[in-house]
Amino acid sequence: KQEVTQIPAALSVPEGENLVLNCSFTDSAIYNLQWFRQDPGKGLTSLLLIQSSQREQTSGRLNASLDKSSGRSTLYIAASQPGDSATYLCAAPGTALIFGKGTTLSVSS
C-alpha cells in the first residue's frame, strides 16, 4: 500500500531564499510522481509530473527530482517570492494518486 510523507509540514522563509521540500513514498514501483500547489480554499494546480525514466523535471523556478531507489522526491524552489506562499502536495501512484499531507510555505517580503 502506497504511503506518502512530506517534510516539513510548514516552512517560513524570507523572500529570495532557495528552499527544498521533501517527499518520501513507500512503494518505489511507481511510473511517475506529481507535485501540486494548493492555495487556501482552492483546488489543486499541477506543477510538475516526473516520469520514472526521468530524474529531474524543471518549470521556471521549480525543479523536482525523483529517486525511486530511495523512495524520495524533492521540490526545489529558487529565489522564493511572496506569491509562492501556498501548500505544496506530493502524490505518488497507488490505487489512484496517493497524496501526502503537504508542506505549507509562507514567504515573507
Of 45 and 70, the one with the shorter C-beta distance to another protein is 45
Site string for another protein, 41-80 (x = CB under 8 A): xxxxxx--x-------------------------------
Of 95 and 109, the one with the shorter C-beta distance to another protein is 95
> Any contact of residue 11 with another protein (CB under 8 A)?
no
Distance CA 36, CA 3 (A): 17
Look-up: residue for cell 521540500?
Answer: 21
Q: Report in angstroms how near the CB of residue 17 gets to another protein at its nearest.
A: 24
> Any contact of residue 95 with another protein (CB under 8 A)?
yes
Look-up: residue for cell 529558487?
Answer: 78
> Any contact of residue 102 with another protein (CB under 8 A)?
yes
Instruction: Of 105, 103, 40, give the one whose Cα is nearest residue 73.
Output: 103
By the 8 A CB rule, do 90 and 33 touch?
yes
The residues with which 67 forms a beta bridge, in sequence order, are: 72
